[in-house]
Structure 1
Amino acid sequence: MNPLLEKFNTPFETAPFQLIKDEHFLPAIKEAIVQAKEEISHIKKESKPDFVNTIVHLENSGEKLSRVASIFFNMNAAETNEEIQKLAREISPLLSAHSNDVLLDEDLFDRIHKVYSQKEELDLTTEENTLLEKTYKSFIRNGALLDASGKKRLREIDQKLSRLGLQFGENVLKETNSYELVISNEGDLEGLPEGVIEAASQTAEEKGKPGKWVFTLAYPSYIPFMTYAANRELRKELFIAYNTKASKGDALDNREIIKEMVQLKNERAKLLKYPNFAAFVLEERMAKDEKQVMDFLQELLQKAYPKAVAEMKELEAFARKKDGLEKLQKWDVGYYAEKLKMKKFEVDDELLKPYFELNSSIKGVFQTAQKLFGITFEENTTIPVYHKDVKAYEVKDENGAHLAVFYADFFPRAGKRNGAWMTIYRGQKRKGNKEQRPHVSIVCNFTKPTKTKPSLLTFNEVTTLFHEFGHALHGMLADGTFESLSGTNVYWDFVELPSQIFENWCYEKDCLDLFAKHYQTGEPISKQLIERIKKAANFHQGYQTVRQISLALLDMAYHSTDPSKIEDIATFEREVTKSAELLEPVEGTQMSASFSHIFQGGYAAGYYSYKWAEVLDADAFELFLENGIFDPETAHSFRDNILAMGGKEHPEILYKRFRGRGPETNALIKRAGLEIQEN
């Protein structure tokens, strides 16, 4: 018996992780593909095509395949192993081929085209019309109008891209897991906080090196070392290890993979009559074309760069005065920035961490959601989970009715990729009289508890928690008919609005008072400390903004440049980001080979979305500030017009409905402290 193919006899039909074995995935995928093909075949045999028997039935087809695939790929990101990675290399091409079989099916497209051509006569709701438009466009954008040879080549490209993206991610994960900075001399730990040292000692024990300290490239290990370690040479060593990932000329090198991926994406776009891959992607974004993106990035760069230069000059002068440092290098920035921030604002991570114990912070994020939207979270230990660190919650609405299942997975481990993300195991939709409620997860890499301390979050980790939870709210509060338009299924440069706006509550006293209490004394965080957090919020905002812009420029360059002109990855990267360079480049290092967002995730030609959404979130949060951060009317409007709506309507329409007008950049410029650059 394969549990993936049976009805899930679990609370809320959640994934039966306790029964699933690695060997179940491939046969389940193959069988689910067969089922999905039968469903497509049935659609094609229907009588005269109409909206329900063609568009709606297509939308609802492949349900089992979608469910099994989501479980599999979520495991490949959060709890992978060599067997799962091997399976992914086999499963991804199967799914890609099946997707092509559907999207390139001439008979199926003919039915869709007939329905689409009579759309003016159909009495469709706004949501139904959006589904029709999206379905028709997805076929066009995936080769439905190509001739036989074009369709054949598109299939080959999609198969290759599927394999290359997986290989890219596997290489980064292996590189991250294989590196260790082993410290034997206690003097080399100078400057590191007690909790960081204890965590490194615990890591050493886990890796069979008792009596030593081990630091890795996982964020909770890497970031504290770069922030506090006084040993400059070791900071340099760790920095170079981090920034040479998957670019060492060995079997894990991603540079040739990058070249092949951008070449294939470019070829795919040209097959479909687009000038480049960026143009293909941006056709379905709020920022409609490359010019709009580049104008947006250049406008921000113009405002942020002078401030960033001033920040680096101040930091270099501070380092020179403090330690006689002649020249500030990239591995010095985090270390001296933390000390300068403490000097200017009397606030740093070590001062704040005792107030942000993980369990207390989780309760805080739940209470914030309850005050805004009336929803509650109850841990449910009967819901199966895929790792002992994962907790599952039942989410209920303001009337106590079931709303969603929420999984929380917070600590690093060998089978989990770096970073933080939100994902969905099951989306929300309505089918007839039955509504399917979503199963949503957030996955992070926070500091683990030690033998003497609970998990204490840096303030940056607190904002990450709120950020990913904002995405989760977008999924949990979804209220649509069609799953492909529900929750986070929105334009990519709109999807970050719910996550980024939620970070704003972390800086507000009324929110922090809910949960920021000293883990030992229970003492609430003081008003003075909150004021210092707010004042420090703009610290090095110029630098951070320029760094984000440089990554967005790099992304756009990869996906709009003629690939034949990309010879050396490091040289290309340096050339396209030099307008945003603040410190001397470090020979041999580069970001591209581990830039998973664009080569493994879904941000190709979309990394600008983070800054784009910052404009939206700063502008939207201004309304909460005007009316009160827990104002019920504003919260309900945000829920009804943004979170619940998903992709039913164009995001510009949804945003204007909430805000009463289109977004304005002034709020972001003001919040980031960049307005001083204007003449």
Structure 2
Amino acid sequence: MSSGRRRFLPALLTVSLTASVTSIPSFAQTQPATGFAVRVDNPLLASWAGSYGGYPAFDKVQVSQFKPALEAAMAQNLAEVQAIANNKQAPNFENTIAAMERAGNALDQVQTVYGIWSSTMSNPEVQAVQREMAPRMAAFSDQITQNEALFKRIEAVYNSPDKKKLTPEQQRLAYVYYNNFVRSGAKLDANAKKRLSEINQQLAGLFTKFSQNVLADENDSVLVLKTAADLGGLPQSLRDDAANAATSRKLSGAGVITNTRSSIEPFLTYSDQRKLREKAWRMFYNRGDNGGEHDNNALITEILQLRAERAKLLGYKTHAHLRLDNTMAKTPEAAMALMEEVWVPAVARVKQEVADMQTLATKEGATFKIAPWDYRYYAEKVRKARYDLDQNEVKEYLQLDKMREGMFWVAGEIYGFAFTPVTDVPVYHPDVKVWEVKDKTTGKHLGLWYFDPYARPGKRSGAWMNAYRKQERMDSEIATIVSNNSNFVKGKDGAPVLISWTDATTLFHEFGHALHGLSSNVTYPTLSGTSVVRDYVEFPSQVMENWLPTPQVLQRFAVHYQTGKPIPQALVDRIEKASTFNQGFETTEFLASALIDMKLHLAGDQKIDPDKFERETLTQLGMPSEIVMRHRTPQFSHVFSSDGYSAGYYSYLWSVVLASDAFSAFTEASGPYDKAVAKRLKEKILSVGNTVDPADAYRSFRGRDPKIDALMKERGFPMKGATKAPEKKAASKKS
């Protein structure tokens, strides 16, 4: 998952730094400063200084600085924007669009650090700031996009006959500004704008309350393994992880399983204690759905109602139609068509997988029907029986540090990057490490890469990439700063951290987002790096996953954590033979989440009971009872902690069609490390950001539209006659 910053923040269009609703005066009602200077006694307001083009002064950050820094930076940004709106000169690209690009630098920097603390260093003090500031920040965003004088200038530039004299990138930027403002309500009347801003402020509060509820359930709930018997079936590495978790949380017992995916999924895979598997499963999949103060169901109902009302205000039939209007898919119908095409063979495969597991379980004397907390356990047994492949055996060759080195090597081979560790920049936590990234041929500095790999209290679960600073060259060359964030369980006393094949794949995936940012070569920051439409942004990350299983990576970097010997070829062969194993499960759990997301947002202004809707919709879809959604609705942070992936979780499937088809360009040539194809991928896709329409960019790389064939083959699903990905339908009609 990728998240980043923009020069201005239309509440509808960006990931919110969210909080719960509080009765406070809106920042939009305060008067902006008359000058552009801000107080610099707050370290958060100081420009980033130092080598590498400057970097965040994490060592000087205090939580008490966030609120005054946000207030001052917003005031400065409003003053900058108002000066643009009040400019007496006729609007042109330079004094309007380019001027907007230059505005908001102080706020960008403050929000970057604030976002890091909110997502990785959260505590009650940080959460209190979030609850107060989120609605105010939403109001601030609306004050910019609802500024009539400013929009008239943007509209004038966009509609000017002189636009054709601009460069293609400048024309694209003018379109992006105009379209974003219109989609944020710039053309509404005064009453509608007022109501829209009220909705955005309410949503900002609800988003943060949702996030904080999920985080509370993750932080507060653990499974204590009291006796040695409770460790039954767990390999030594997981026993060590559980013991370390117990020590770090100062809990007695044989071990602790924390409420994060990186801890729960291995436990469900190996524990032979069925009752404990069920407890772990329920703890994880009931996050946000336990009743009490941290239950998210009522929040979801309210979020859906507000989103539906907002969509109608903006002239769209539903929130889904609004969200997909400026994507590659264009319409919910096109996204649904793709999901439904893959859903049928995926569910059919699940039935085969369950039958195999049930047969094995019965042979072992089980008298129960396979349940969701049994799926991973018996799938692993079937994998071992069918392919002589033990995931724990594979794990012994997957050291986190070695996999990171492997990613660096791949980036060097296909994109020409070189990574060098640096120790002269501050970090926000001792676990975080930093590397400088250069062009390995010319030695040119390209950026910094921060890596925050380990789980800890106050850090949200999952894995993601972030951009601290975007690449640009408006007035001078500015290099990007990106980060990757994971939640691996930290080893004891420097012991190597062993990760699963799935986690290694996720590591490569998120690094693909970072490479997208590091490859950026554009002029304007709004169009830079990963600032592309939602169902395209996952394409560069999905395609990066394909280099993990290449022999060049495995032979060099998949080395045994004790002997240092490379992974045996026989084991690699077994991994390849099992590559389509369990694809029914993996595809169905994802698609169930994506379909629920889309159907929730196609329901319009219905008042929805989330648990009931989820249960009834899955039944209608024919969801196998042995599987649960990858992200159940009450914990679906992609969708309800911001507008980010709302009606957009399908994007992963849409993007993987592109990624699978794109990687076929390598296999059709000389292989994964074909220099010519890699050069074309970097130049046509990764480096251009949002300066080119994504469909045009893909055709420029591939020479044609994407086909679904490669994806279906990868997953071992039968294909229908058609080979093209679902065609985009006409842009959604406004109601």
Match of 2:527 in 1: 485
Question: Aligned partner of 1:555: which letter?
Answer: D
Query: Aligned-pair distance for 1:589?
Result: 13
After superposition, the C-alpha distances for 1:163-218 in whole angstroms (9 at most, x for unaligned) are 11111000000001111211222112110111111221121122222443211212
Match of 1:464 in 2: 506
Matching of residue 42 in structure 1 with residue 83 in structure 2: yes
Residues 564-643 of structure 1 correspond to what in structure 2 (within 5 A)? 564-566=606-608, 568-584=609-625, 591-601=632-642, 602-627=644-669, 628-643=671-686
For residues 588 and 678 of structure 1, the distance between their equivalents in structure 2, rounded to whole angstroms, comes to 29
For residues 258 and 577 of structure 2, the distance between their equivalents in structure 1, rounded to whole angstroms, comes to 32
For residues 655 and 640 of structure 1, the distance between their equivalents in structure 2, rounded to whole angstroms, comes to 11
For residues 292 and 512 of structure 1, the distance between their equivalents in structure 2, rounded to whole angstroms, comes to 38
Please give the root-mean-square deviation of Cα atoms over the aligned residues, in Å.
1.8
Match of 1:653 in 2: 696
Query: Aligned-pair distance for 1:461?
Result: 1.1
SS in structure 1 at match of 2:664: helix
For residues 627 and 511 of structure 2, the distance between their equivalents in structure 1, rounded to whole angstroms, comes to 36
Query: Aligned in 2, Cα 1:325/1:536: closer, same or farther, shift over 3 Å?
Result: farther
Query: Aligned-pair distance for 1:238?
Result: 1.3
Match of 1:2 in 2: 42
Match of 1:263 in 2: 305
After superposition, the C-alpha distances for 1:36-61 in whole angstroms (9 at most, x for unaligned) are 11211221232110111011111221
Question: Aligned partner of 1:38: which letter?
Answer: A
Query: Aligned in 2, Cα 1:338/1:423: closer, same or farther, shift over 3 Å?
Result: same
Residues 444-523 of structure 1 correspond to what in structure 2 (within 5 A)? 444-451=486-493, 453-523=495-565
8 Å CA contact 2:462–2:487 kept in 1: the answer is yes
Match of 2:17 in 1: none
Percent of pairs with identical residues: 38
Q: TM-score by structure 1 length?
A: 0.97
For residues 352 and 339 of structure 2, the distance between their equivalents in structure 1, rounded to whole angstroms, comes to 20
Match of 1:295 in 2: 337
Residues 118-137 of structure 1 correspond to what in structure 2 (within 5 A)? 118-119=160-161, 122-137=164-179
Match of 1:20 in 2: 61
Query: Aligned-pair distance for 1:326?
Result: 3.0
For residues 229 and 211 of structure 1, the distance between their equivalents in structure 2, rounded to whole angstroms, comes to 16
Matching of residue 389 in structure 1 with residue 427 in structure 2: no
Question: Aligned partner of 2:624: which letter?
Answer: L
SS in structure 2 at match of 1:423: strand
Q: TM-score by structure 2 length?
A: 0.90
For residues 655 and 172 of structure 2, the distance between their equivalents in structure 1, rounded to whole angstroms, comes to 22
SS in structure 1 at match of 2:140: helix
Question: Aligned partner of 1:571: which letter?
Answer: K
Query: Aligned-pair distance for 1:450?
Result: 2.5
For residues 570 and 210 of structure 1, the distance between their equivalents in structure 2, rounded to whole angstroms, comes to 35
Query: Aligned-pair distance for 1:322?
Result: 2.3
Match of 1:644 in 2: 687
For residues 302 and 198 of structure 1, the distance between their equivalents in structure 2, rounded to whole angstroms, comes to 41
Of stretches 638-647 and 87-96 in structure 1, the one that deviates more from structure 2 is 87-96
Query: Aligned-pair distance for 1:91?
Result: 2.1
8 Å CA contact 1:308–1:582 kept in 2: the answer is no
Match of 2:583 in 1: 541
SS in structure 1 at match of 2:449: strand
8 Å CA contact 1:309–1:582 kept in 2: the answer is no
Match of 1:305 in 2: 347
Query: Aligned in 2, Cα 1:121/1:80: closer, same or farther, shift over 3 Å?
Result: closer
8 Å CA contact 1:307–1:677 kept in 2: the answer is no
Query: Aligned-pair distance for 1:392?
Result: 0.6
8 Å CA contact 2:357–2:382 kept in 1: the answer is yes
Query: Aligned-pair distance for 1:301?
Result: 1.2
For residues 161 and 281 of structure 2, the distance between their equivalents in structure 1, rounded to whole angstroms, comes to 57
For residues 274 and 565 of structure 1, the distance between their equivalents in structure 2, rounded to whole angstroms, comes to 18
Question: Aligned partner of 2:637: which letter?
Answer: S
Match of 1:155 in 2: 197
Question: Aligned partner of 1:111: which letter?
Answer: R
Query: Aligned in 2, Cα 1:589/1:274: closer, same or farther, shift over 3 Å?
Result: closer
SS in structure 1 at match of 2:256: strand
After superposition, the C-alpha distances for 1:284-328 in whole angstroms (9 at most, x for unaligned) are 100010111111111111232222221222222222122324311
Query: Aligned in 2, Cα 1:366/1:82: closer, same or farther, shift over 3 Å?
Result: same
Query: Aligned-pair distance for 1:676?
Result: 7.0
Residues 322-471 of structure 1 correspond to what in structure 2 (within 5 A)? 322-398=364-440, 399-432=442-475, 434-451=476-493, 453-471=495-513
8 Å CA contact 1:74–1:423 kept in 2: the answer is no
For residues 220 and 58 of structure 1, the distance between their equivalents in structure 2, rounded to whole angstroms, comes to 42
For residues 719 and 584 of structure 2, the distance between their equivalents in structure 1, rounded to whole angstroms, comes to 11
Query: Aligned-pair distance for 1:367?
Result: 0.5
Query: Aligned in 2, Cα 1:663/1:156: closer, same or farther, shift over 3 Å?
Result: same
Of stretches 527-536 and 484-493 in structure 1, the one that deviates more from structure 2 is 527-536
For residues 479 and 331 of structure 1, the distance between their equivalents in structure 2, rounded to whole angstroms, comes to 47
Query: Aligned-pair distance for 1:564?
Result: 2.4
**Across the two proteins, how many residue pairs are aligned to each other?**
677
Match of 2:594 in 1: 552
For residues 692 and 628 of structure 2, the distance between their equivalents in structure 1, rounded to whole angstroms, comes to 48
**Unpaired runs of 5+ in structure 2?**
1-40, 723-735
8 Å CA contact 1:116–1:136 kept in 2: the answer is yes
Query: Aligned-pair distance for 1:7?
Result: 2.5
8 Å CA contact 1:244–1:588 kept in 2: the answer is no
Query: Aligned-pair distance for 1:268?
Result: 0.4
SS in structure 2 at match of 1:392: strand
For residues 180 and 506 of structure 2, the distance between their equivalents in structure 1, rounded to whole angstroms, comes to 33
For residues 538 and 347 of structure 2, the distance between their equivalents in structure 1, rounded to whole angstroms, comes to 24
Match of 2:254 in 1: 212
Query: Aligned-pair distance for 1:11?
Result: 2.8
For residues 194 and 218 of structure 1, the distance between their equivalents in structure 2, rounded to whole angstroms, comes to 19
8 Å CA contact 1:246–1:252 kept in 2: the answer is yes
Question: Aligned partner of 1:424: which letter?
Answer: A
Query: Aligned-pair distance for 1:586?
Result: 9.5
SS in structure 1 at match of 2:368: coil
For residues 678 and 297 of structure 2, the distance between their equivalents in structure 1, rounded to whole angstroms, comes to 46
Q: 2:712 aligns with which of 637, 649, 669?
A: 669
SS in structure 1 at match of 2:43: coil
Query: Aligned in 2, Cα 1:97/1:320: closer, same or farther, shift over 3 Å?
Result: same
Question: Aligned partner of 1:595: which letter?
Answer: F
SS in structure 2 at match of 1:151: helix
